[in-house]
């Protein structure tokens, strides 16, 4: 998808350039990047992303840098496909490969949220409906406890009018991050959602269980009557367990994608 | 399904005939036909078609010819299975193999729509409901932006009364194309839909995301209340991006079917 | 499931018996039995049956005999697993292997319906709901046109009171066949359905598309408003095509199960 | 998930300990443990459990002992992963491997229900909704006949207020068992369910068909009107058959997971 590389990126990171491009935040352990690439394939294998969507990781020692794959289908990502970016969405060291237009989602969430180390953006069909209607997404069970504090909805049209729906520059990324606030998940009207975590495995865990909880909520809604979702305090208590449970789920999911 | 070959086709294209059959529009690159065969297998792999349904491609240099497989399950199509037809639905060069009865869908859409280079016909179970009820199909997210300009419904009974529901001759194909107008998708009551594109990959992309959007709309509807679908202007803007995104999706989907 | 073999069968067909058992209707072509075994595996592969359910074929030259597998999961059936039965549900030649308790469904439908050559019994989860509620199952699209003439519901409790819900003897089978009448499909309350055809491939085709149509009807119902299902005349016209289309679907489905 | 091992367990079963740990109930046949490990994989393969959930078996000759895997994803369990526990949830012989926090579900159900030989705990997305709303889960068809006697709902908040939703100690396990009473299934609000059986294969069968029945009930509910579910007497009669049918289903399911 070369054509989608925005002009600012192209000029900064084009082949032969690199002089004005941001420097790398420093070399990171190969195992960390292997996990990030696996996370991408896991999200595809678990049905959270399809041909689109992406997951990123903040540089472990340089908070103003993050890694994300070049523009490609998440099911195919390998460590070599990862590119390091600055929080302005510019590829470090002049990496010339095509970038995701929506890398500004990641960049601006990292800028606004020092607690966040990993970001997932997806369009899971079961999640999109909650960005289209008034019914709020709620936490249907303990594995989705992080939803109990509320899930805001970002409607790009509110500030930017009619657009192509993409968060394709820093200004839109900043507004998305503002609407997200301190939440772990923000819905995007007629588009998808963003899920964040304090580490990669938690972000993946939350992305998977946001999708599962959405499925449950569709069916619970159809049964009628009030839904006894997790309360806020239950959510806080249960989510503390999830932070550890993510490790167990990762073992299974990573094995399925050959990691 | 030899028995379904209509008599006009049989007489024109039967073995030993070929004198009165239309001539080929000329040889085309093998890679183009390989992509068309792969498109057929992709649509099966992505759940858009099952044992039935078909995809065609207009001849790249002869606008009054198109390629479509012989009558067979789309998951099994290989380049050798493709047949070239005239816009009257007659096999070029007297190709004697059984043809899809509904090739007239393709023929008449190509005749009416010079902008269309590829046509998909399918009966995806999630799409059929929208041809049966009053609720209109709408664009649930940016990947389905092409739906934002409205999705007409062709009810074959309106003009032709009780039929076998198939668009099995040119007259029915013309009426379908008339109802479709300039839209990228037309629903067929109690049957399925037709999706078109300016090239093969876009037609496949639209066929897949028409199905995904339908799934989203079923769930959004069940949640109740108004649905904040894409507006017409948002649809136009977002679809411009999709025309490029189709390439990225194709890479993944083609890999899955061994292309 | 040895324990489920009813006592009448056991005494007639036990090991060492065979004297009082009905004689075979005569040897049949191995290809025919291979197709019947494949049909069983196809129904599992297509999601119509799970660990339970069965398909049978009337003996091609002895109308009072039929073939069905021994009691086992349909996904595992091979030609050697087939047993020949009389219309009284007694194994021919004293075959001692455990039989399906519900072989009386098949036996009595063959007795009542000379037009029927093949019978499928299944509990597909998407079909069972239509046997539980007042909403009638209707023909949602041309591939399910055979449903347009109406789908009766057999409630075993109406005649037999509280039972184990199984059609485990000839009397219950006769009542089921009576409720079915001339229909191609009959629903069984809180149990499943029976689908019949004039040949094996058509019965399989109908079993698959009854399930698909049920899925479509669930979603069409949820969209609200009247459903413009196939009318009776449309159903008759479209079903004539299906009888031929079943052949094409079979090619794909058989290939998937190694036939 | 080492961090989740409760402190009492850790002290009793830590490496080098074993003095104060409960003794084993005695050696059991390897085939029995192989079946238990297979049951775990079957539940994953059938979609009843995902990365979480567990199945246990009471020791065949020591009613106050049971086997369950170490804390891990159920799809990966092999016989070597099984640990023997006392009904106080303490590992026999000082087994130092991390244990499921929720082993107290199993322990307390075995204590309260001498008729129970096997317990399954899962969070199947189709089942969770029934623990969140007022609509009771009912028996939709004969294979789920065991549901006809009613499915109670355990809301952990009723007795314990805001918690992390987990049954992580004996007191909570006892309350769960109390609410369950004599039922074969109990729902857990905003969490999942517990399914029990008089033997392993029946518990697995019930866990699978509880999930299938839930799916049917969602769709039957959406069709509207009263649902003619199995009555209590029908349930008793039909469940007697299921106890035998479980064997046939097991053959298929075990084969799928290499057992």
Distance from CA of A97 to the nearest CA of D (A): 36
Contact C190 D142 (CB under 8 A): yes
- Checking if the pLDDT of D124 tops 90, the result is yes
Contact B140 A128 (CB under 8 A): yes
Q: Which of A66, A68, A70 is CA-nearest to residue A87?
A: A66
Distance from CA of A207 to the nearest CA of D (A): 14
> Which H helix or E strand runs over B85?
strand B82-86
In a structure prediction context, what are the per-residue pLDDT tens digits for chain A, which is 259 residues long? 333 333 333 333 333 344 589 999 999 999 999 999 999 999 999 999 999 999 999 999 999 999 999 999 999 999 999 999 999 999 999 999 999 999 999 999 999 999 999 999 999 999 999 999 999 999 999 999 999 999 999 999 999 999 999 999 999 999 999 999 999 999 999 999 999 999 999 999 999 999 999 999 999 999 998 999 999 999 999 999 988 899 999 999 999 999 8
What pLDDT is attached to residue A243?
A: 86
Chain A CB contacts of D3 below 8 Å: 244
Each residue's pLDDT tens digit, C184-241: 999 999 999 999 999 999 999 999 999 999 999 999 999 998 999 999 999 999 999 9
Chain D residue nearest residue A236, CA to CA: D164
Chain B residue nearest residue C238, CA to CA: B164
For D190, residues 6+ apart whose C-beta sits below 8 A from its C-beta are A139, A140, A141, A142, A228, A229, A230, A234, D128, D131, D132, D165
DSSP state letter for B161: -
Q: Which of A31, A39, A81 is CA-nearest to residue A56?
A: A39
Distance from CA of B141 to the nearest CA of A (A): 4
What pLDDT is attached to residue A8?
A: 32
Beta-bridge mates of residue A188: A154, A192
* Active-site residue (options: C102, C149, C175, C233): C102
- Checking if the pLDDT of B7 tops 50, the result is no
* Mean pLDDT along residues D54-66: 98
Contact assessment for residue C53 and residue C32, using Cβ atoms and an 8 Å cutoff: no
Q: In 3-state terms, what secondary structure has residue C69? A: strand
Q: What are phi and psi of B214, to 5 degrees?
A: -60, -45
**Could you tell me what percentage of chain B is helix, strand and coil, using 3-state DSSP and rounding each to the nearest 5?**
45, 15, 40
A120/A146 Cα distance (integer angstroms): 15
* Active-site residue (options: B84, B102, B108, B211): B102
- Checking if the pLDDT of D15 tops 50, the result is no
Contact assessment for residue A43 and residue A120, using Cβ atoms and an 8 Å cutoff: yes
Each residue's pLDDT tens digit, D237-251: 999 998 889 999 999
Question: How would you write chain D as a 3-class SS string?
Answer: CHHHCCHHHHHHHCCCCCCCCCCCCCCCCHHHHHHHHHHHHHHHHCCCCCCCCEEEEECCCCCCEEEEECCCCHHHCCHHHEEEEECCCCEHHHCCCCCCCCHHHHHHHHHHCCCCCEEEEECCCCCHHHHCCCCCCCCCCHHHHHHHHCCCEECHHHHHCCCCCCCCCHHHHHHHHHHHCCCCEEEECCCEEEEEECCHHHHHHHHHHHHHHHHHHHHHHHHCCCCCCCCHHHHHHHHHHHHHHHHHHHHHHHHHCCC
What pLDDT is attached to residue B20?
A: 83
Q: Which comes out higher in pLDDT, residue B1 or D140?
A: D140
Contact A132 B220 (CB under 8 A): yes
For A161, residues 6+ apart whose C-beta sits below 8 A from its C-beta are none
Given C72, C133, C192, which is nearest D248 (Cβ)? C72
Q: Which two tokens stand for residue C205?
A: 């085709």
Chain A residue nearest residue B229, CA to CA: A190
- Checking if the pLDDT of B4 tops 50, the result is no
Q: Which segments in chain C show pLDDT lower than 70?
A: 1-19
What pLDDT is attached to residue A15?
A: 38
Contact C238 B164 (CB under 8 A): yes
Chain D residue nearest residue C153, CA to CA: D228
- Checking if the pLDDT of D79 tops 70, the result is yes
Q: What is the ipTM of this complex?
A: 0.92
Chain B CB contacts of C234 below 8 Å: 157, 162-165, 190
Pairing of strands D153-154, D185-188: parallel
Contact assessment for residue B241 and residue A166, using Cβ atoms and an 8 Å cutoff: yes
A66/A109 Cα distance (integer angstroms): 11
Chain D residue nearest residue A219, CA to CA: D129
A164/A156 Cα distance (integer angstroms): 9
- Checking if the pLDDT of B10 tops 70, the result is no
Contact B135 C251 (CB under 8 A): no
User: How many residue pairs from chains C and D have C-beta atoms closer than 8 A?
Assistant: 111
Chain D residue nearest residue C190, CA to CA: D141
C interface residues, D as partner, C-beta within 8 Å: 1, 3-4, 50-52, 71-73, 75-76, 101, 123, 125-126, 128-135, 155, 157, 162-166, 189-192, 218, 221-222
Q: How much is the mean pLDDT over chain B?
A: 93
What pLDDT is attached to residue B12?
A: 36
C37/D232 Cα distance (integer angstroms): 37
- Checking if the pLDDT of D17 tops 70, the result is no
- Checking if the pLDDT of B16 tops 80, the result is no
- Checking if the pLDDT of D33 tops 90, the result is yes
Contact assessment for residue C77 and residue C37, using Cβ atoms and an 8 Å cutoff: yes
Chain A CB contacts of B143 below 8 Å: 52, 123
Given A123, A129, A165, which is nearest B238 (Cβ)? A165
- How distant, in Å, are the alpha carbons of A70, B33, D38 from that of D144? 49, 51, 22
* Active-site residue (options: A102, A158, A175, A233): A102
Chain C residue nearest residue D145, CA to CA: C164
Given C143, C222, C252, which is nearest B222 (Cβ)? C222
What pLDDT is attached to residue C162?
A: 98
Comparing A16-20, A241-245, B134-138, D130-134, which segment has the lowest mean pLDDT? A16-20
Catalytic residues of D: 102
Chain D CB contacts of A225 below 8 Å: 133-135
Q: Which of B69, B123, B128, B159 to mutate to test the interface with C (most CBs of C within 10 A)?
A: B128
Beta-bridge mates of residue A154: A188
Distance from CA of C50 to the nearest CA of D (A): 9
Contact C128 D230 (CB under 8 A): no
Contact D241 C128 (CB under 8 A): no
C170/C19 Cα distance (integer angstroms): 22
* Mean pLDDT along residues B33-56: 98
Q: Which comes out higher in pLDDT, residue B148 or D8?
A: B148
Contact A230 D51 (CB under 8 A): no
Packing angle, helices C200-223 and B200-223, rounded to 10: 60
A47/C40 Cα distance (integer angstroms): 30
Q: Which two tokens stand for residue D50?
A: 């995902």
What pLDDT is attached to residue A13?
A: 38
- Checking if the pLDDT of D18 tops 90, the result is no
Contact D190 A230 (CB under 8 A): yes
What pLDDT is attached to residue A19?
A: 57
User: How many residue pairs from chains A and D have C-beta atoms closer than 8 A?
Assistant: 111
Each residue's pLDDT tens digit, D146-171: 999 999 999 999 999 999 999 999 99
Q: What is the pTM of this model?
A: 0.93
Contact A221 B226 (CB under 8 A): no
- Checking if the pLDDT of D13 tops 70, the result is no
Contact C190 D248 (CB under 8 A): no
What pLDDT is attached to residue D225?
A: 84
What pLDDT is attached to residue C121?
A: 98
């Amino acid at each position: 998808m070369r054509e989608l590389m925005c002009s600012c990126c192209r000029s900064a990171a084009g082949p032969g350039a690199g002089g004005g491009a941001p420097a790398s935040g420093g070399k990171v352990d190969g195992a960390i990047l292997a996990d990030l690439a696996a996370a991408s394939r896991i999200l595809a294998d678990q049905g959270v992303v399809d041909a689109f969507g992406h997951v990123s990781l903040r540089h472990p020692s340089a908070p103003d840098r993050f890694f994300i794959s070049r523009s490609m289908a998440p099911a195919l990502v390998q460590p070599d496909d990862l590119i390091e970016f600055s929080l302005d969405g510019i590829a470090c060291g002049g990496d010339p490969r095509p970038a995701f237009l929506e890398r500004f989602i990641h960049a601006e969430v990292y800028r606004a949220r020092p607690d966040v180390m990993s970001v997932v953006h997806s369009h899971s069909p079961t999640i999109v409906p909650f960005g289209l209607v008034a019914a709020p997404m709620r936490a249907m069970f303990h594995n989705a406890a992080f939803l109990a504090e509320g899930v805001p909805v970002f409607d790009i049209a509110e500030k930017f009018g009619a657009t192509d729906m993409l968060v394709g520059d820093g200004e839109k990324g900043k507004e998305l991050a503002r609407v997200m606030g301190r939440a772990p998940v923000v819905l995007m009207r007629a588009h998808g959602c963003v899920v964040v975590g304090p580490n990669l495995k938690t972000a993946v865990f939350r992305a998977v269980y946001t999708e599962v909880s959405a499925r449950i909520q569709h069916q619970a809604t159809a049964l009628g009557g009030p839904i006894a979702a997790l309360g806020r305090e239950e959510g806080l208590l249960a989510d503390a367990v999830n932070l550890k449970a993510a490790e167990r789920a990762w073992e299974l999911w990573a094995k399925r994608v050959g990691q």
